[in-house]
């Protein structure tokens, strides 16, 4: 007997009939009345009577069984696929674990190799310094072309935890004579080892009252200086000693021109910090090479001052490290203002902008005022430009070794340009350049006009800086005639 309510649909009714007849639910059946007439299987079918029973006629049992087999096969196949997927996932997890273990091992071994290489390089540097001292000569660290790859592409920044002992250079006690000489543009820069140069730069921040003004943590200042030093490469010219020279010249100009009485602490901090960071991670190949060789930097910065843009980026990558952020205690407005100022100053060191900056400054000399924002910006840009190319301001025994270093770096670039089929600047070609010919034009048409313009605002530099430049020009003109 089959019973169902009015709410049952035709499929439910059919399932009830097939189950009552002992068939599976997928069997195809027909429902016939006592006279053999086929009835529609639905909830509205009339009740039958004992003397007139309904008959169930199976249409195709084999087909139903085939459907059963097909469904079973399908379910089995799906189940097998799921098992495979889970096995593959388990296998991937196992492989990932093994790869992670291998990567950790490689990382540890790699660190050991790096440390060994650092020790080897330190030994080489010490040997060179000993050789220089023995022969009373001024050397430079040869550049290793292989480390730059094609086109002098930048190396990863050294921004991990500062491993160097931050107290390593506090053992140097500066004498009164050293401090007094440090304030003068004619300071001797070749006699100082790297840790001593760090100590001297650190002293500048204290003497200019920047540590107190910006609430700089003393340990953070040391870590920042160490990180800056680590991110200058061992180029013949654009190295950490060049950074020190530019920073010391800026410190000397601040003192000689008494800028502390004329500028804010923020301005002074921008000048000194930009001088220290202005050539960070310099690859030893100038903007012209970067653009002509289509290096990563030139592409990244659309051929617009690629090196200076990179120096700015490295500067603030270092400051982004909490261990090295000397401005962490500044207000947001103060930091934003100093960031803009430092970027402006570093970008001004691109010699491609020399005439633009010089012309802008000369227009302001006659009516110059520290109260005018644009006048002050123009002066600060000229000051960092002066400091960046100020070697000839120093005594000949200091400036001439720098010229050797600069020409060596130039010749390395021109040699590479020749190999790569790139244009070669005449003043960098070892086949056409002499010391005298290089410096005569540079002093006469770049240095003297620029320092002369600064001298119109600060007459006190005439007896030192301008006099030294004039003597240097006479020296090289005499060599050129010989």
- List, by residue number, the catalytic residues: 238
Enter the DSSP assignment of 29. Answer: E
> In terms of DSSP H, where are the helices of 135-264?
176-182, 194-207, 210-213, 218-230, 240-256
Measured distance CA(320)–CA(340) in Å, rounded: 15
Q: Which tokens sit at 445?
A: 């048409």
CB-based contacts of 253-257 (< 8 A; 24+ apart in sequence): 253/185, 253/383, 253/386, 253/387, 253/461, 254/208, 255/183, 255/184, 256/183, 256/184, 256/185, 256/458, 256/460, 256/461, 256/464, 257/458, 257/460, 257/461
Alpha-carbon dihedral 78, 79, 80, 86, rounded to 10 degrees:
110
**β-bridge partners, 58:** 29
25: which residues sit within 8 A by CB, 6+ positions away? 15, 18, 19
For residues 219 and 166, the answer to whether their CB atoms sit within 8 Å is yes
- 446 Rama sector, left if φ>0, alpha if ψ -120 to 50, beta otherwise: alpha
Q: Which tokens sit at 261?
A: 């009485």
Q: Which tokens sit at 134?
A: 């023995």
Collapse the DSSP code of 28 into the 3-class scheme (helix H, G, I; strand E, B; otherwise coil) and give the result.
coil
Measured distance CA(180)–CA(200) in Å, rounded: 12
For residues 386 and 253, the answer to whether their CB atoms sit within 8 Å is yes
Instruction: Report helix angle 373-388 to 240-256, nearest 10.
Output: 130
Measured distance CA(478)–CA(482) in Å, rounded: 6
For residues 460 and 257, the answer to whether their CB atoms sit within 8 Å is yes
Instruction: Report helix angle 448-457 to 467-481, nearest 10.
Output: 160
Largest distance between two CA atoms of the chain: 142
């Amino acid at each position: 007997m089959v019973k169902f309510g009015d709410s049952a649909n035709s499929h439910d009714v059919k399932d009830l009939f097939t189950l009552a007849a002992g068939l599976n639910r997928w069997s195809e059946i027909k429902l016939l009345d006592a006279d053999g007439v086929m009835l529609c299987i639905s909830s509205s079918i009339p009740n039958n009577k004992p003397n007139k029973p309904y008959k169930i006629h199976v249409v195709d049992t084999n087909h139903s069984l085939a459907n059963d087999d097909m469904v079973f096969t399908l379910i089995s196949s799906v189940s097998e696929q799921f098992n495979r997927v889970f096995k593959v996932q388990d296998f991937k997890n196992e492989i990932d674990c093994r790869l992670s273990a291998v990567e950790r091992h490689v990382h540890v071994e790699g660190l050991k190799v790096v440390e060994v290489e650092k020790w080897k390089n330190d030994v080489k540097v010490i040997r060179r310094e000993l050789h220089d001292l023995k022969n009373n000569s001024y050397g430079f660290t040869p550049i290793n072309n292989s480390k730059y790859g094609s086109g002098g592409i930048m190396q990863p920044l050294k921004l991990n935890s500062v491993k160097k002992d931050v107290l390593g250079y506090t053992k140097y006690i500066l004498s009164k004579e050293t401090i007094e000489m440090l304030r003068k543009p004619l300071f001797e820069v070749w006699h100082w080892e790297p840790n001593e140069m760090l100590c001297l730069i650190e002293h500048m921040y204290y003497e200019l009252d920047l540590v107190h003004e910006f609430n700089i943590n003393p340990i953070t200042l040391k870590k920042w200086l160490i990180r800056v030093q680590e991110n200058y490469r061992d180029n013949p010219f654009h190295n950490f000693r060049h950074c020190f020279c530019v920073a010391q010249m800026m410190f000397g100009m601040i003192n000689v021109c008494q800028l502390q009485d004329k500028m804010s602490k923020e301005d002074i901090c921008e000048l000194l910090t930009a001088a220290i960071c202005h050539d960070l991670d310099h690859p030893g190949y100038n903007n012209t090479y970067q653009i002509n060789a289509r290096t990563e930097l030139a592409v990244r910065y659309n051929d617009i001052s690629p090196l200076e843009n990179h120096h700015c980026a490295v500067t603030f990558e270092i400051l982004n490290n909490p261990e090295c952020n000397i401005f962490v205690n500044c207000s947001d407005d103060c930091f934003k203002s100093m960031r803009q100022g430092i970027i402006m100053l570093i970008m001004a060191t691109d010699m491609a902008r020399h005439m633009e900056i010089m012309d802008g400054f000369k227009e302001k000399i006659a009516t110059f005022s520290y109260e005018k924002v644009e006048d002050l910006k123009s002066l600060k840009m000229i000051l960092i430009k002066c400091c960046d190319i100020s070697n000839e301001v120093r005594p000949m025994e200091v400036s001439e070794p720098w010229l050797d270093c600069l020409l060596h770096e130039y010749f390395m670039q021109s040699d590479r340009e020749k190999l790569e089929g790139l244009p070669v600047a005449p003043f960098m070609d070892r086949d056409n350049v002499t010391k005298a010919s290089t410096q005569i034009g540079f002093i006469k048409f770049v240095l003297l006009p620029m320092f002369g313009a600064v001298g119109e605002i600060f007459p006190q530099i005439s007896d030192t800086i301008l006099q030294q430049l004039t003597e240097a020009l006479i020296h090289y003109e005499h060599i050129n005639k010989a």
